[in-house]
Structures are given as structure tokens and as C-alpha cells.
């Protein structure tokens, strides 16, 4: 049985004070009890990671980063290494988000190096894959998404692949308010799991969690999470408001 994971990607929002306020609200809710059988992750901006780490250290909420570089150290101005993230208490790191691919030009080869580096240092990658609107309209959604999957996981053993969390995020649904229908999302998740089974075996495919991301909100999370191959959500804007994120965590 795969444990659902609800992850919040805060993107470039929240000062340190605002981040602390949000986490304190989430922790208060956690004390009252989240729904059973699920894990929670927050990924604030880099500036908030260090102050939030001690607040989350002994809690039921995990801490993750939104990106990292693949080198352990070096003359890479402006970058953060997996060693640094691990050092302050991060357990997860988002890699390959469409905004990194589209805005910052990250390709599959670079993302693959980052995946290997994260696993080397005991961080769980949340690997994002997904197609653009023109690619979907052209009938290439599955080809593009599975191509990203295989290129980003290139060179991983089956054991290593088991340690990756995947997030299917159709680019056209991110921040637009437009969401893939539960049936469409399920179809892609099933295709992703079939590709994992083909490449690594059915046991690995059955173990890897595949999240859905793209305008996940309190009013659509229940239908999405009812799908058999959707194992959680990577939440953007709705994770910035405690009441909305708690409702998503406590999906029915």
C-alpha cells in the first residue's frame, strides 16, 4: 500500500516571518490530527528553510527544498547543494518542475544529474514531469511525459528508482485554474506506472508514489485522490493558505 503524500510547493512566496506563521498554523492543525494514512511535506523558499527546520524537526510534517544543484560544492554562484539541504534537515527536494524547465532552461540531462545527486545524499527527489498545452493538443502528451520520465531516471537501479517520488504536472494546468479531469489525470498516472513496470518491474511500479499537480484545490482534491493511481498532490497556490492546505491534506 502506497502512503499518500500531500506536498506544498510555496514557490517564490513568503518572508521568513510569514513562513513561520504558516508552519505554526499547520502544526496546530496537525496536533488536532490530520486524516490517517498520509504524509505531509512543505517546500518553502531557500530563505525560510533554516528557520523552519527546528520547528518541523520532531513533527509529522517533512521539510523539502524547491531545487538544488547536482555538485556537492564548488564555484557555482547562487546555487545550493544537496549536502547543504541535508545538513539543515531537508528530507525532500523538488526537481524538474516545469518552471525550472520552461523559465530556466533545465533539460532532462541536468535534471537526471540532480536526481542522482539527491539520492546519493539521502534526499528524496520529487521529480516533476508533464506536457505543455500544444503538446497535449498535438496528441503527444504521453510521449513527452514518459520521455521526461525515462530521461530523468536514466541510469538508476531499481532500488534507486523506488526512492523517487514522481509528480505528474501538466504544464497547462499549473497556476491557471485549469485542472486535468480526474479521468485524464488517472490515465496519465496509469501510463507512468506502466512505464515504471516495463523499466524496473511491477514491484517497483507498485511502490513508487505518483502525485498529481496543477491547480489542486479543496474543491477538486477529493475526485483526484479517488483515482487508483494518484498517490497524492503537489499543491501550489492553495498550499500558501493554511485552511486550504489543511482541507487538501484531509481529502475525503
- Write out the catalytic residue numbers: 97, 169
Residue 85 grid coordinates:
539541504
| Residues 185 and 226 sit within 8 Å (Cβ to Cβ) | no
- Strand spans (E) along the chain: 5-9, 39-43, 61-65, 92-95, 124-129, 165-168, 210-213, 232-235
DSSP 37: S
Report d(CA 111, CA 128) in Å as an integer: 10
Rounded-to-integer distance, Cα 240 and Cα 216, Å: 12
The DSSP output letter for 177 is: S
What is d(CA 94, CA 166) in angstroms, rounded to the nearest whole number?
10
Amino acid at each position: 500500500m502506497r502512503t499518500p503524500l500531500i506536498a506544498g510547493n510555496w514557490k517564490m512566496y513568503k518572508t521568513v516571518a510569514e513562513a513561520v506563521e504558516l508552519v505554526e498554523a499547520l502544526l496546530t492543525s496537525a496536533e488536532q490530527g490530520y486524516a490517517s494514512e498520509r504524509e505531509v511535506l512543505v517546500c518553502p523558499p531557500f530563505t525560510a528553510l533554516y528557520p523552519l527546520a527546528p520547528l518541523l524537526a520532531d513533527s509529522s510534517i517533512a521539510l523539502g527544498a524547491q531545487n538544488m544543484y547536482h555538485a556537492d560544492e564548488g564555484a557555482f554562484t547562487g546555487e545550493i547543494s544537496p549536502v547543504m539541504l541535508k545538513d539543515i534537515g531537508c528530507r525532500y527536494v523538488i526537481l524538474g518542475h516545469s518552471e525550472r524547465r520552461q523559465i530556466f532552461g533545465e533539460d532532462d540531462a541536468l535534471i537526471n544529474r540532480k536526481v542522482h545527486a539527491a539520492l546519493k545524499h539521502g534526499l528524496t527527489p520529487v521529480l516533476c514531469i508533464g506536457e505543455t498545452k500544444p503538446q497535449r493538443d498535438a496528441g503527444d502528451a504521453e510521449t513527452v511525459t514518459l520521455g521526461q520520465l525515462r530521461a530523468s531516471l536514466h541510469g538508476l537501479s531499481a532500488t534507486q528508482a523506488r526512492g523517487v517520488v514522481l509528480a505528474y504536472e501538466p504544464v497547462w494546468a499549473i497556476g491557471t485554474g485549469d485542472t486535468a479531469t480526474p479521468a485524464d489525470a488517472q490515465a496519465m498516472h496509469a501510463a507512468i506506472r506502466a512505464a515504471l513496470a516495463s523499466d524496473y518491474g511491477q514491484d517497483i511500479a507498485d511502490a513508487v508514489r505518483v502525485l498529481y499537480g496543477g491547480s489542486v484545490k479543496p474543491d477538486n482534491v477529493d475526485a483526484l485522490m479517488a483515482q487508483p493511481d494518484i498517490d497524492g498532490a503537489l499543491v501550489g497556490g492553495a498550499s500558501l493558505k493554511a485552511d486550504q492546505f489543511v482541507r487538501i491534506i484531509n481529502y475525503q
